[in-house]
Structure 1
Amino acid sequence: MNRTDDCAQPAPRLTWEEDGATRSARWRSESGLPPPRRVVVADDRLNADAAYRLACEGTAMLWRGDYHNARQLLQAMARRGAHRPRKPGSADGGVRPPAEAFHLHRQAQAQRARTLGMLLIPFDADFGIPLRRAPDARAACAQAWDADGEPSVASLRELLGLIGASEWHRQGVEVPALGARIHPCYGVFSPVRGEYVDLVAAAPLPSQALAFDIGTGSGVLAAVLAHRGVAHVVATDQDGRALACAADNVARLGLAGRVDVVRADLFPDGRAPLVVCNPPWLPARPTSPLEHAVYDPDSRMLRGFLAGLAAHLAPAGEGWLILSDLAEHLGLRSRGELMDWIAAAGLEVAGRLDAHPRHPRAGDRSDPLHAARSAEITSLWRLAPTKAPACRSAAGPA
């Protein structure tokens, strides 16, 4: 949505020299990276070694050559980055602690993204790409970007992400628990990891009257609850893309009369006999919109859900917390912390269902985080308000 109020910040601009003149265009970066300060115009004569060297030095390359050659160049740059030697182990020569390995892994990912993001693609005002053999990506761009009637520039890597997300949205992701497909949108987490969905599909329902789905994202869990016979589901989120995506999926599945998608920071008004939440699993800072579904700074959403759950549960109701223990294996959060938060919120564990990961990375021994990923378990915690101790009579026990 375009902002037109007086508080709107001007869009960042990329400036460069070309054909003896200073030029500029709107800069687009979903991760919020500032426009590169150094820009050179490049074409098919640029080889991968020179491109990778420029990128590592912080010089961006605005592409004017063949589009497919640009894609091949990006792939060659990625191979050069992959062949760089990894940082050695800890100072004493041993294996790094899991938390340190995780942070180093994220740093390496961020550096790789910055380097590969230095190959830039121009866009016309209508998101057309003025390059030879360029695809028509206008629809994919329009799904994620606001149109402001002026040319723009973004990284080729970001464009490929837009095109991939558009294809995911078009094809959808098969969800066996639904017997149907969910169509994720750009910037909204895709339900490709099925174990958390299967847990919600298998847990015994405390009621079929009403449920809240907190942080609904694509709407997949709200749809699963409705598919299981819950008469009314209120699905909340505060991200505009997630709200639009969930509403679209609810309509596609013919559930618009049973699932309400509403904007809220965590809970809607009222109480429900079932309140479900699948918060981001790792307490770390997200660097892009999509990462908000994975990283939760200081476990804000997790702690907020637990703290507010009892006040939004109907009598004899349950809260379902769907959470991976990957953070525990990485040393980012302990099981003791989680149990303390549950107890401090006036809650107790009524039961738990567990699922082992099925995604390919769990078995990838080349992954720097393989030890943690291979031990990961995703759990559905059934939470209920703590029962007050029974009062004794003044005369004491019989």
Structure 2
Amino acid sequence: MNAPPVVEWTEADEARSARWRSENGAPPPRRIVIADDRMKADAAYKLACEGTALLWRGDFHNARQLLTAMTRRIDRRPRKTLPDDPAQAFHQHRAAQNQRARILGMLLVPLDATLTVPLHRAPDVRAACAQAYGPPPADTEDGTTDGTPPASPPTASVVSLRELLGLIGAYEWRKKGVEIPALGGDRIHPHYGVFSPARGEYVDLVAAAPLPAQDLAFDIGTGTGVLASVLARRGVRRVVATDQDPRALACARENTERLGVAGRVAVVEADLFPEGRAPLVVCNPPWVPAKPTTPIEYAVYDPGSRMLRGFLNGLADHLTPGGEGWLILSDLAEHLDLRPRSELTDAFATAGLKVVDRLDVTPRHPRARDTSDPLHVARAAEVTSLWRLTATD
């Protein structure tokens, strides 16, 4: 196994180092300066734009205010006019978003060995960090139970404040859960790094499509396990749900147990298909054929349509005679000129599949109505479809 990345800096005339934590795969900053409550927002923003990170040693709430001030400075910058070509506009917009994330990721906070933030007025983030990073070793416990940082702890690791706030938000989402109407209002609790079913329209499609059989179904790339749970609640007696991501596998198992369908849903590790055939095979792959820039983005972007093509090309060999494959896919990529409709239908034919029916739904999420979104035209035209496919043989 590769050693975890390390950050190095000078503090009080001494060379220091610590583990670098970045769930989005950002590289360790090469230059770090110490910052505290005396740091002005303009100075912090200038340093961050130049590629210098700021390791915060002041009040935690002041660090959050500084991050907000840096965000305002980015948002005040004039936006570049996006090109008329939708694909170019998409890639330029992504580049701008990545640059924004890089700058805001330059404000860093320390973590001690117990995953405590040793700063004044810092919240207790140990549970949130443990869910993302794993629990600290048992011998690092410091005896505190109220989140109070120990006196003068060493810096065991460093993380961007922006990522840490994301971990806290994900932890709260996991506790609260996402209400799923197709499950009668019961909730799915997404783990950190697992795609949340907040856009519920695709789940509604799976709840509405006519079942070809009720004895067995495969759910490919199950994620939170939401579609497997919907199928089980609809009366499918056995569902085999697959994924490769350890977080997704744990998340799906926890959700199916919580929803009372674990006895009918087997969650297994597999690259796409499990062994055997089924009368129903369901897949909701990432919708946009673009290269992810962070590990978490693999839930949204499918480079070269790898998962989509893998599902289509293997589907006929995993269907029982007369069985159906349900492909849930948005046409956002078509409106962005990233994948024409003909490429999708040609992929059906090449894989030996034919379309039996298609169920469509328009998005309900706020971004579809946000005219300030640079990609509003494409988002407003988006339609999500459930393609019912069968083998041509």
Match of 1:52 among 38, 45, 52: 45
Contact 2:182-2:204 at 8 Å conserved across structures = yes
Residue aligning to 1:309: 315
Q: Indicate the residue corresponding to 2:327 in structure 1.
A: 321
CA contact (8 A) 2:334 2:341 kept: yes
Q: Please list the CA deviations of residues 178-229 of structure 1 after superposition, one character each: whole Å capped at 9, or x if unmatched.
A: 0210000000000000110000000000001100000000000000000100
**1:1-39 CA distance string (max 9 Å, x none):** xxxxxxx10110000000010000000111222111110
Q: After superposition, where does 1:3-18 map in structure 2 within 5 Å?
A: 8-18=1-11
Query: Secondary structure, in 3 states, of the residue corresponding to 2:182?
Result: coil
The count of corresponding residues between Structure 1 and Structure 2 is 375
RMSD value, Cα: 0.9
Q: Secondary structure at the match of 1:230?
A: coil
- Aligned twin of 2:371: 365
The residue number in structure 2 matching 1:390 is none
Structure 1 Cα separation of the partners of residues 82 and 201 of structure 2: 33
> 1:251-287: per-residue Cα shift (whole Å, max 9, x none)?
1111111000000000000000000000000011112
Aligned in 2, Cα 1:248/1:22: closer, same or farther, shift over 3 Å? same
Counterparts of 2:295 and 2:92, CA distance in 1: 21
Distance 2:291 2:190 in 1: 23
For 1:1-398, list aligned pairs within 5 A: 8-90=1-83, 96-146=84-134, 147=136, 151-179=156-184, 180-387=186-393
Query: Which runs of 5 or more structure 2 residues have no equivalent in the other structure?
Result: 141-154
State the one-letter code of the partner of 2:212. P
Q: What displacement does 1:89 show? A: 4.5
Asked if the contact 2:82–2:93 (Cα under 8 Å) also holds between the matched residues in 1, the reply is: no
Shift of 1:289: 3.0
The DSSP-based 3-state class of the residue aligned with 1:102 is helix
Runs of 4+ deviating beyond 2 Å: 146-150, 287-290
In the alignment, residue 53 of structure 1 is paired with which amino acid? K
TM-score with structure 2 length normalisation?
Answer: 0.94
CA displacement 1:352-392 (0-9 Å, x = unmatched)? 000000000000000000000000000000000114xxxxx
Q: C-alpha separation between the residues in 1 aligned to 2:82 and 2:231?
A: 46
- Distance (whole Å) between structure 2 residues aligned to residue 342 and residue 305 of structure 1: 10
- 1:177 is paired with a residue whose SS is helix
Distance in 2 separating the partners of 1:251 and 1:384: 32
Partner amino acid, structure 1, of 2:216: L
Native 8 Å contact 2:201 2:364 kept in 1 = yes
Question: C-alpha separation between the residues in 1 aligned to 2:108 and 2:114?
Answer: 17
Write the letter of the residue equivalent to 2:13: G
Which digits, 9 at most, give the CA deviation of each residue in 1:74-114, with x for residues without a partner?
A: 01101110111111354xxxxx2100010011001100000
Aligned partner letter, 2:12: D
1:111-154 C-alpha deviation (Å, 9 max, x unpaired): 00000000000000010000000000000000010336681000
Question: Taking every aligned residue pair, what percent have the same amino acid on both sides?
Answer: 72
Q: Distance in 1 between matches of 2:66 and 2:173?
A: 25
Distance 1:339 1:161 in 2: 38
CA distance in 1, matches of 2:207, 2:82: 42
Query: Secondary structure of 2:7's partner?
Result: strand
C-alpha separation in 2, matches of 1:289 and 1:194: 23
**CA apart distance, 1:290:** 2.5
Partner in structure 2 of residue 393 of structure 1: none
Map of 2:147 onto structure 1: none
Structure 2 CA distance for aligned equivalents of residues 382 and 284 of structure 1: 25
Instruction: Mark the runs of 5 or more structure 1 residues left unpaired by the alignment.
Output: 1-7, 91-95, 388-398
Give me the TM-score of the superposition, normalised by structure 1: 0.93
Which amino acid is the alignment partner of residue 363 of structure 1? Answer: R
